[in-house]
């Protein structure tokens, strides 16, 4: 078979709207592994949140977390980590406080959250989304926590006034040394410059001795672009916006239709792989 590594985003890609993996997607992962193909996750999520979705496999799976800021095996072995410089974190906080938006800072195993009027709601939403009891610290002023901890990623969330996000993004982009992206229409994500899922896959491939042409990657949003461009076969989900579909080699069905599995079975079928050139775009 042509592919040795399948790397997949999670939310909007491997997981459905209920943040669950369909039975067909599980079958596809099992099928790939049984045929000697490795599988890795590449998510904006924290490591523990990503890990719990593949624990049923009972085997070691590489996990790219925090949009590529952290790579660990599912058995806990650290492969790579790239924190945001503390001074740059504090500059970003100045911008976020100026616009009075809600934001989170991800440490390897801690989530620092800007205080709001409803602490209970924050706990509920985080744990409902991540499906795990994340260690959450809620503070009115996050500066001390930022200074005393390695921050891998910021997430800014604005549900009521999304029109302010492009303004914030533009101002953040003036801070040299930061990487700015997005995984949902209502958020902005900040990492260290040079950090993205594509760069993380490159490092993982060097670690596993796999060529980029042997990678099949799946994604649905802007934080997946570099990953889709780097892989030998970049697959965009049917629920992706047109910008993502345009840069992909192939567009599969939506995450609600098990588009991940449908593409796996299509391109790992030996009778189909040879026809790849006629199926892309």
Residues with catalytic function: 9
Q: Is 67 helix (H, G, I), strand (E, B) or coil?
A: helix
CA-angle at 250, arms to 248 and 254, nearest 5°: 100
Token code pair at residue 227: 């990953």
Alpha helices in 101-258 (DSSP H): 119-130, 143-148, 165-172, 197-208, 225-230, 242-247
Is the sign of the CA dihedral 56, 58, 64, 69 positive or negative? positive
What is the rounded distance in angstroms from the CA atom of residue 63 to the CA atom of residue 109? 14
What is the rounded distance in angstroms from the CA atom of residue 276 to the CA atom of residue 225? 20
What is the rounded distance in angstroms from the CA atom of residue 29 to the CA atom of residue 253? 17
Identify the helix (H) or strand (E) that includes residue 104. Answer: strand 102-106
Using alpha carbons, select from 86, 85, 189, 96 the residue that is nearest to residue 141. 96
**Strands 153-157 and 111-114: what pairing?**
unpaired
Q: Is 88 helix (H, G, I), strand (E, B) or coil?
A: helix
What is the rounded distance in angstroms from the CA atom of residue 248 to the CA atom of residue 210? 21
């Amino acid at each position: 078979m042509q592919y040795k590594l399948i790397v997949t985003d999670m939310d909007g890609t491997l997981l459905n709207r209920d943040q669950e993996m369909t039975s067909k997607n599980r079958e596809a992962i099992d099928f790939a592994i049984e045929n000697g193909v490795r599988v890795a996750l590449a998510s904006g999520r924290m490591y523990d949140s990503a890990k719990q979705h593949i624990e049923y496999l009972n085997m070691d799976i590489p996990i790219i977390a925090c949009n590529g800021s952290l790579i660990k095996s599912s058995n806990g072995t650290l492969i790579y980590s790239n924190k945001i410089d503390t001074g740059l974190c504090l500059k970003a906080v100045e911008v976020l406080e100026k616009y009075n938006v809600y934001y989170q800072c991800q440490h390897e195993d801690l989530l620092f959250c800007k205080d709001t009027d409803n602490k209970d709601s924050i706990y509920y939403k985080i744990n409902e989304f991540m499906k795990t009891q994340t260690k959450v610290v809620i503070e009115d002023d996050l500066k001390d926590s930022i200074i005393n901890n390695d921050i891998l990623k910021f997430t800014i969330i604005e549900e009521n006034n999304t029109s302010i996000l492009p303004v914030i993004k533009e101002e953040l982009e003036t801070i040299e040394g930061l990487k700015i992206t997005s995984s949902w229409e209502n958020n902005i994500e900040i990492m260290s410059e040079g950090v993205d899922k594509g760069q993380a896959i490159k490092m993982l491939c060097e670690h596993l001795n796999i060529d980029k042409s042997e990678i099949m990657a799946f994604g649905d949003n802007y934080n997946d672009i570099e990953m889709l461009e780097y892989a030998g076969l970049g697959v965009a989900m049917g629920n992706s916006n047109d910008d993502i579909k345009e840069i992909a080699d192939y567009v599969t069905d939506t995450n609600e239709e098990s588009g991940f599995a449908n593409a796996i079975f299509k391109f790992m079928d030996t009778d189909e792989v040879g026809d790849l050139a006629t199926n892309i775009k």
